[in-house]
Structure 1
Amino acid sequence: MTTLSTSGRSIQYRDFVIAPVFILVQYLFAILAEEVFPNLLKRIFDDTLQQSGRTILFNIMMFLAQMIVIILSLRFKRS
């Protein structure tokens, strides 16, 4: 593992993984909220979400995506 030293702390490859993970998780969770879950709801229960329900689902999914990124970054800093 390559490390660079800056003022006593070493920079590791894990420090650079967070940005791509953030982008990937935000993109995937948006697709889940906009396409996958509403289509599953339509197929399984034969019901559709109103616009307000879609907005709530999207906000919940974005919150979960951000929590995942925060937890991963904290875990990377501990290791």
Structure 2
Amino acid sequence: MFRGGAGRFVSDAYGHSGLLGDSHDHTLDLHEPGVVRRFLDEAAARGLLPTAHGVEETDGWPLFDALVGWTAAVSGPAAGTAQ
């Protein structure tokens, strides 16, 4: 679950659906391949996945920083530049 708040934004009328970001210009697109999988992997590593049937909400913002760091490491400083 991602809720907007101080220093955090979620997609609304001004952004496309699935866009998350913070006040440090870090963004993640939940529609980009692999992003949701990384959230699930990180949640599993932290023991946050539910163990019983039913509906459970978990705050996703603590996982956001880990994914932003992983995305930067995969992209590298030269990502998107001509070689």
Structure showing greater radius of gyration is: 1
Ranked by relative contact order (alpha carbons within 8 Å, sequence separation 6 or more), the top structure is: 1
Say yes or no: TM over 0.5: no
Between Structure 1 and Structure 2, the one with more helix by share is 1
TM-score normalised over the length of structure 2: 0.31
Between Structure 1 and Structure 2, the one with more strand by share is 2
TM-score normalised over the length of structure 1: 0.32
